[in-house]
Amino acid sequence: MLDNLLNTGVFDQFPVLKTNRLHLRELNNAYTPSFYTLRSDKKVLKFMDTGPLENMMEAEKMIQENVAMYQRKEGLSWAITDKEHERFMGYCTFWKLDTKNARSELGFAMLPEKWGQGYMEEALKAVIEFAFRQWQLHSIEANINPLNERSRQLLIKQGFRKEGYFKENFWYNGQFLDSAIYSLLEKWRT
């Protein structure tokens, strides 16, 4: 049965991941101020096609939605912190979990002052490895604004392939926008 393909044990205790420079731990309210800074930054939101968080209460609510998603066994959201000082740098999230098909959507964002230093590439490598090896996902999807070249390059470096392009399928800020869909199968990584 397909529902048994996934290792639901990953929901017994939140999986903390470590890389050479990073700790990836559960996104929780301790990160509210930094999360607010990230999700209200115009540079970060340029291609996210969502409005900025208006206040700390909205940031806390969004974090709580991610915590609840984990508690319902529907996804995982990691805060990305630097190993040395444990400062928040960004996040990686698996959401829209499709248990029947062992598939989830990946989302990520990082503070602009950390861009171009390889941190997100390092974080993505860790969460993708976890998703395939421990969680036993079969495929991962990423839905990006086609103009988001940084995200596109990050996904391609991880082995993602463009699988779809949807014309004007997303309504935001008074206009229809396009979406590009990238996917990764574990077998493509070898």
Cα 18 from Cα 103, distance rounded (Å): 23
pLDDT band, very low/low/confident/very high, at 190 (cuts 50, 70, 90)? low
- Across the chain, how many H-helices and E-strands are there? 5, 8
Q: What's residue 1's pLDDT?
A: 38
| Reported confidence tier of residue 58, pLDDT bands at 50, 70, 90 | very high
- For residue 13, is pLDDT > 60? yes
Give the whole-number percent of the chain exceeding pLDDT 70: 97
HSE, CB side, 13 Å, CA atoms: give it for residue 187: 1
Quick check: 9 pLDDT over 80? yes
Average pLDDT over residues 92-112: 97
Question: According to the model, what pLDDT value does residue 173 have?
Answer: 87
Please state the separation of Cα 8 from the chain's center in Å. 19
Residue 78 has pLDDT above 90, yes or no: yes
Can you give the pLDDT at residue 27?
97
**C-alpha span between 45 and 39 (Å, rounded):** 7
Across the chain, which distance is largest between two alpha carbons, in Å? 46
Q: What is the pLDDT of residues 144-184, one digit of tens each?
A: 999 999 999 999 999 999 999 999 998 988 999 999 999 99
pLDDT higher than threshold 90 for residue 188? no
Q: How far apart are CA 109 and CA 90, in angstroms?
A: 5
Q: How high is the pLDDT of residue 47?
A: 94
The domain segmentation of the chain, as residue ranges, is 2-189
Helix (H) or strand (E) holding 140: strand 139-144
The alpha carbon dihedral of 175, 141, 153, 22 has a sign of positive
* pLDDT for 187: 85
For residue 181, what are the β-bridge partners?
143, 164
> If residue 36 lies in a helix (H) or strand (E), which one and from where to where?
helix 32-39
Query: What are residue 26's phi and psi, to 5 degrees?
Result: -60, 130
pTM higher than 0.85: yes
Q: Residue 3 pLDDT more than 80?
A: no
Cα gap 57→46, rounded to integer Å:
22
CATH of the domain spanning 2-189, picked from 3.30.70.980, 3.50.40.10, 3.40.50.300, 3.40.630.30: 3.40.630.30
Would the pLDDT of 113 be above 90? yes
Token reading at 139: 């495929």
- Across 73-133, the runs of DSSP E, i.e. the strands, are 76-82, 88-98, 103-110
Chain-wide mean pLDDT for the chain? 95
Distance set, CA 172 to CA 47, 110, 169, 175, 177 (Å): 11, 22, 10, 6, 7
